[in-house]
Structure 1
Amino acid sequence: MIRTSFVEGAGGVRLAVSESGPASGAPSVLFVHGFAQSRQSWSRVLQGGLSRNHRLVALDLRGHGDSDKPEGEAPYVDGANFAGDLAAVIRQLGLERPVVVAWSYGGVVVGDYLRHHGDEALGGLFLVAASLKTGKPARALFGPGMMSNARGLLSEDADIYAAAARAFVEACPARSFPPALVDASVQLMQRVPVNVRRALLSRAEDYSAELERCRRPVVTLHGELDQVVLPAMSSDVVLASVRQGQSAWLAGVGHAPFIEATADFEAVLETFVVAARG
């Protein structure tokens, strides 16, 4: 059963949170979604077998889903806000050394957290096609699923944005998503205002230094056919920086392995959570 609540993030921004599994006494896993997505991205995992023995928590980032959507770009450009949001979720929900699972743009949020709060409160990082380098210097690390749709994703024209959102969602899997899933994902993306989208994609960040300082175990999981965030992001940025890094590569899988290969995703994650607890 999924439980829904709200947490007060940085600057009083209200953040929507979904939970499943034991409310206490179990290993905690905190899921961070990607650009213009929501906590609904993790629905299959939150309702799956991991919830039997793990406390699973997924949040809507500020500006997304059911969380507050402050006006302007400043609340989204300053990484201290995202770092504060993540810290607030961990603190207010009493998550003890959670493994943080960051997908796609969620890597930026994790990078912000490491930059402002360090890794002391974390159990480990599970980076799923996660962007730890963004902006013009990182263009070669992104595939056509992102680059071909970027202009439309920044548009204030509702029809142009809807078309770009659909093309983006359809580019995520190596094989096609069911039409109902595509439609639902596009509808969720349409809830993200243009000020949020423009702010997020305006950021140029490199979290290599934060990864180098990280003392917690790190695993990267990447679909070999990812055409949104290219596998080089994991191999050339993350694994080249971390001290305790391991990788998992999924053949025949694109940008959403937790949907495309749920069982494989859950198996790798569960193994990592057990190992991270020592």
Structure 2
Amino acid sequence: MTAPPRPATGEATGTLLAAGEWRLRTDDGATLALSVLDPLPGSPRATPGAEPPTVVLVHGWAAGRRVWGVVADRLIRSGHRVVSYDQRGHGASDTGDDGAPGITVDRLAADLAQVVTATATPGAILAGHSGGGFAALRLASGTDHTPARQRLGGLVLLATAAHDQDTPDSEVRMMGSAHFSRALRRPRLGRTLLRQTVGADADTPLRETNRQLFAATDPAVRAACFRSSRGMDLRAALERVTLPARVLAGDADRVIAPALGRVLAQSLPDAEWDQLPGAGHMLPLERPLPVVRAVTELAAGRRSAPAAGGGPRAGRAPS
């Protein structure tokens, strides 16, 4: 059942949003569509009387909560409470009164803070992919949004970075181009145009899901998002973040260089780094099981094992 729009009142009332589909009003008038899923009955950690750990999933730009389908399913089967939402301007969420120009990394982090406050139990794990990782990092490293930050117990950061995201003007213009949008709506051509976002082993259904998500995002929102990370450098602020973290990158990522993920892991005091062989940028679609493993191990306080198939050994990022 879908609830009517309502503000994030969890922090004020102590009542978190129950399982279901919700529309959450932000403090600046945008409406975010979100899903709250309880653990499946009989799942390993769904024990009576115990609070199931919450995982908040934050998708990247030009995607949507649909990108987390397999990840969310596996997490509720392993006993987690899972929250996913469409970032502003994506999927069923709108942009509020300011429209696409109001999209900034700070604003997306503020949206995430309201989602966390309304839904997350203490010790929640944030899993952020790409631009969703920017929002998660900004929330975790900031000095504002204290009630939300105090709910966090760990970070899983996928194909993302803390700096060097200065998208050139030509790419921003392309993201907002009507011609590019028309091309994206043609399945075969759209999949070809987005081939650099996935690894070589990505099959056609996976690539088609990626295309549909990208094509469904408003061009002005795409352009605003890719413009918003210019000048972002969170490395110094991340040195104060003591949350345990897992940082994953595909070694075939041509959108955000894996080396930037390694630098991100080095910037965090308690981070483990893993590079996934053959994977491109869309890790929630391409490698959902390593993502689930990273979340469940972090929630359980375990160190990770080496990635299957080679690549750098998982562990504390080298200094």
CA distance in structure 2 between the aligned counterparts of 1:197 and 1:161, rounded to whole angstroms: 13
How far 1:4 sits from its partner (Å)?
2.2
Gap runs ≥5 in structure 1: 140-146
1:192 pairs with one of 207, 217, 224: 217
Aligned equivalents of 2:92, 2:182: Cα separation in 1: 22
SS, match of residue 269 in structure 1: helix
Q: Which moved more, 1:219-228 or 1:115-124?
A: 115-124
In 2, are the aligned partners of 1:155 and 1:161 still within 8 Å (CA)?
Answer: no
Distance 1:198 1:58, change over 3 A: same
User: What are the ranges of 5 or more consecutive residues in structure 2 without an aligned counterpart?
Assistant: 1-18, 41-49, 303-319
Counterpart check, 1:122 vs 2:147: no
- Root-mean-square deviation over aligned CA pairs: 2.8
Larger radius of gyration: 2
Per the alignment, residue 213 of structure 1 pairs with 240
Q: Distance in 1 between matches of 2:154 and 2:69?
A: 22
Instruction: Answer with 195-204 or 173-182: which moved more.
Output: 173-182
TM-aligned CA deviation for residue 148 of structure 1: 9.5
Match in the other structure for 1:61: 87
- Tell me how far 1:165 sits from its aligned partner: 5.5
| Offset at residue 268 of structure 1 (A) | 2.5
> Identity over the aligned pairs, expressed in percent?
26
**What is the CA distance between 1:129 and its match in structure 2?**
0.9
Runs of 4+ deviating beyond 6 Å:
none
Look up the SS of the partner of 1:12 in the other structure: coil
CA distance change for structure 1 residues 151 and 161 in 2, over 3 Å: closer, same or farther? farther
TM-superposed CA distance for 1:127, in Å, is: 0.5
1:105 aligned to 131, 154, 157, which one? 131
Higher relative contact order (CA 8 A, sep 6+): 1
**What's 1:144 paired with?**
none
Quote how far apart the aligned CAs of 1:14 are.
Answer: 1.2
2:176 matches 1:154? yes
Equivalence map 1:186-265=2 (5 Å): 186-203=211-228, 204=230, 205-236=232-263, 238-265=264-291
- Number of residues of Structure 1 aligned to a counterpart in Structure 2: 265
- Secondary structure of residue in 2 paired with 1:240: helix
> Could you tell me how far 1:50 is from its partner in structure 2?
4.6
Q: What's the CA shift for 1:182?
A: 2.8
What is the TM-score when the length of structure 1 is the normalising length? 0.83
Letter in 2 for 1:86: L
2:125·2:155 contact (CA, 8 Å) conserved in 1?
Answer: yes
Alpha-carbon offset, residue 49 of structure 1? 5.1
Q: TM-score, normalised by structure 2?
A: 0.73
In structure 2, what residue type is equivalent to 1:19?
V
Gap change, CA 1:100 and 1:165, over 3 Å in 2: farther
Deviation at 1:149, TM superposition (A): 6.3
CA–CA separation in structure 1 for the residues paired with 2:198 and 2:165: 23
Relative to its length, the structure with more helix (as a share) is 1
